[in-house]
Amino acid sequence: MTTTSDQLPNLSLQALGTTVRAQGAGAFAALREVRRLEALLTRFRPSPLTELNARGELRDPPADLRLALTHALDIAWRTQGLITPAVLGALEA
């Protein structure tokens, strides 16, 4: 952690395969939320998303995972498949 000239936090962490940075008064809360969502949505370690990908279904999926998938599928539909969440096979190839 570093601080800015006005002593607000300037934080970073590794999440979802990249570096996430947050600065200012809400930095700690923002990074906490990134960690929470990463636990649900990551494909880099066991998560509800990896379970869904492995099994093809998920009993009682977390609300935020359902929301993310609903949003992703809506975008896929609106773009006629130009943007799609169904890319795991290509990413792992």
Angle at 49 between CA 11 and CA 31, to 5 degrees: 10
Across 68-81, average pLDDT: 94
Name all contacts of 32-40 with Cβ < 8 Å and 24+ positions apart: 37/64, 40/64, 40/65, 40/68
Q: 5: pLDDT confidence band, cut at 50, 70 and 90?
A: low
Helix (H, G, I), strand (E, B) or coil at 11: strand
Residue 34, pLDDT above cutoff 60 = yes
Q: How high is the pLDDT of residue 85?
A: 85
pLDDT at 80 over 60: yes
User: Which residue carries 């570093």 as its tokens?
Assistant: 2
pTM of full prediction above 0.75: no
Distance CA 49, CA 62 (A): 10
Average pLDDT over residues 28-52: 93
